[in-house]
Amino acid sequence: MTTSSSSVSVVIPVFNEEANVAALADKLHAALAGIGRDYEILLVDDGSRDATWARLKEAAARYPRFRLIRFRRNFGQTAAMSAGIDAAKNDVIVTLDADLQNDPADIPMLLAEMEKNDYAVVSGWRKDRKDPFINRRLPSMLANGLISYITGVHLHDYGCTLKAYRRDVLQGVRLYGEMHRFIPALCSWVGGETSEVVVTHHPRVAGVSKYGIGRTFRVILDLFTVKFLLRFTGGPMQLFGKIAFLFGGAGALMLLVVLLDRIFGGGIANHLYLIKRPFWVITPFMLFAFCMQFISMGLLAEVQIRTYHESQDKRIYSIRETFDSPGA
């Protein structure tokens, strides 16, 4: 249970943000120094090609409780988030972006909401979002509606990185692709309740955005993976079997029409659909072939799922070096 004494780990992916690091460190220290609980700040340099790592080390030398992780190359935001979560030591894990559009001053509000009803996840909602409408806010609105509908976890703002999670619900969650934004949905698998609070959103004042509308397509593809993980990982044959029966049922129905046509000799197939007889003979066998193909895919998926659950843990990132504040 989350209590007022719960310790906090703040996880922040960083990529080419040298202009924002100093101000970010100041705001993090100001927001967390007075919360009255143990905390740590993990900043993961996702293969930055500017002076971000040097600025991060300067911040860690200036403030306590900073822990730095540097990747060998750019692995992506999901990998950086995963590395921070893996390294976190405390009871509650808070994530946010390094671009200062998320406000670290909102972290205590998320923690208070989590304590109020023992929520497993508290998500930020950028209700007054300071981004362009056409290429950022509109795609986000459509994606949020689609994700909420498919996963059954209804949030206004899946794309807001500022979120708080109880550590126990994150255990066993593995992230790939662009799946960091689906963590609330993945956490729902263990039965934890989710809440949402309105958070501050600032316009970007330094650096450039690393993400555009092209990222939306990758998110949609990962959404199919999340749906499969939430519903069918316990038995993928349930999914592929249903598709197989649709094809098999359609093929059987067409053969039934041909059989009745042969029995009664009335040209049923031709009169009903005005299609030549060979179509009614060849198509059912094609549908049966599709049926067998999906059954085979289901069996292979069952084997792969069991291999997945029994396989060794393999990380999706490679760490080049780490650096901690003195005494961290």
DSSP string, 146-175: HHHHHHS---S-TT---EEEEHHHHTT---
Q: Are 275 and 269 in contact (CB under 8 A)?
A: yes
Residue 212 has pLDDT above 90, yes or no: no
Torsion of CA 54, 58, 61, 62, to 10 degrees: -160
Mean pLDDT of the chain: 81
Confidence at residue 94, expressed as pLDDT on a 0 to 100 scale: 97
Residue 211 has pLDDT above 60, yes or no: no
Specify the residue for token string 């040209």: 267
Integer-rounded Cα radius of gyration of the chain: 26
Residue 294 has pLDDT above 70, yes or no: yes
Going by pLDDT thresholds of 50, 70 and 90, the confidence category of residue 274 is very low
Better pLDDT: 287 or 17: 17
Task: Supply 102's token pair.
Answer: 């998320």
In 176-255, DSSP assigns E strands to: 194-198
Q: Are 302 and 237 in contact (CB under 8 A)?
A: yes
